[in-house]
Each structure stands twice: as C-alpha cells, then as structure tokens.
Amino acid sequence: MITLVRVDNRLIHGQVVEAWLPFLKVSRVVVADDEAASSPLIRAAMALAVQSAIEVQILPLSQVDFAALSKDGVRTLVLLRDVASVPFAHAHGLAMDELNLGNVHFGTGRRQVSPSVFLAEAELTTLQQLADQGVRVAARAVPAEKPVDLPDLRERWAKAG
C-alpha cells in the first residue's frame, strides 16, 4: 500500500531518512528514477542511508510495478525526482491519495511557491490535473511543517509572476 508519494529532487536524503521515515513508519521505500537506477554507486549510497529494517528499491520509472506496490500490505514511500514523473506513475497504477511536494529546486521558468518548492507553469497544470482526479497536492518539506495546499500554491505562483 502507498503511504505517501513524494516529489523530491534529492530522492533519499537527510529529511527523508531522519524525518519522514520515522514519521510514516513505512517498511519500504521505492525510488522510481532512471538516473539513480543507472548508477550502482548512487544506488548503494542511497540504500546505505536507510536503516536495514526498511526495504529499499531503486528502479527506472518504467520498471516499477506501481499497481503491485499499491495493492500489497507493505507500507510504502514512493520517491520521484520531479513533477513530470507523477502522471506516468499515476497512469500505471500508483494509488495516490496525497502527493507531497518536498524539494523542487529553482530552474528556468520556475517560480517560488514555498521555501523548498519552485514550479513552472506546466508543472502547475500537471498538479491541477492530478487534483481534479482527487489527489490532495501539498508542499511540505518535513512532517513538522504545515502543508501548503494546491490552491495556495497557485495563488503564490500568480503573485510571484
């Protein structure tokens, strides 16, 4: 079962290991990312960072069986590098009540909508489409932070223009 889906361009890092994993009490972390999966070094370094009681899978986006992850009884955190990967995962069976935007760094065409999230217009459109399908979209770097929901993110985006 999917406990949380998080967009974080650092994938597994301090905030995930120290804050989200204890908070979510998941038994499995799935990193769905072509770049991370292609490097044995990155795979080993990321897997090492997670305590051994938690299963870590690092796979190319197209090789993740999202439907199976959603159906079995194992509490799972899914990590995606960017907003652009989310529709693919969702269309391939990723059951998702909530999409957490963790770290989306500044890039060309992106505007700041929270301390750790910068979005481009196309990303905002993608997120709105997910929200229209019933997914709660919120920016929240760590569990202790108050989530900022999509309508507020849209408003901030418009103001930042």
Partner 1 sequence: MVGLVVAAHGRLAEELVSTAEQIVGELPAVATCNIEPGTPVEDIRAKMKQAIARVDEGAGVIILADLFGGTPCKESLMMCQRMNVEVLAGVNLPMLLKANSLRSEELSLPEMANQLASHGQRNITCASALLREAQQPRT
Residues that bind partner 1 (CB under 8 A): 14-15, 18-19, 22, 40-41, 44-45, 47-48, 141-145
CA angle 16, 154, 11 (to 5 degrees): 20
Q: Which is closer to partner 1, CB of 93 or CB of 143? A: 143
Reading the block at residue 28, the tokens are 């499995």
Nearer to partner 1, 40 or 73 (CB): 40
Sign of torsion, CA 100 126 42 68?
Answer: positive
Q: Residue 73 Cβ, how far from partner 1 at the closest point, in Å?
A: 26
> In what helix (H) or strand (E) does residue 103 lie, and over which residues does it extend?
strand 98-103
Output the smallest distance, CB 40 to partner 1, in A: 6
d(CA 161, CA 158): 6
**Shortest gap between Cβ of 22 and partner 1 (angstroms)?**
6
Q: How far is the CB of 59 from partner 1 (least distance, A)?
A: 17
Nearest approach, Cβ of 29 to partner 1 (angstroms)? 16
Residue 13 or 92 having the CB closest to partner 1? 13
Considering beta carbons, is residue 45 or 160 the nearer one to partner 1? Answer: 45
Between 10 and 75, CB nearer to partner 1: 10
3-class secondary structure per residue, 41-101: HHHHHHHHHCCCCCEEEEECHHHCCHHHHHHCCCCEEEEECCHHHHHHHHHCCCCCCEEEE
Q: With CA atoms as reference, report the closest residue to 82 among 99, 68, 57, 98.
A: 99
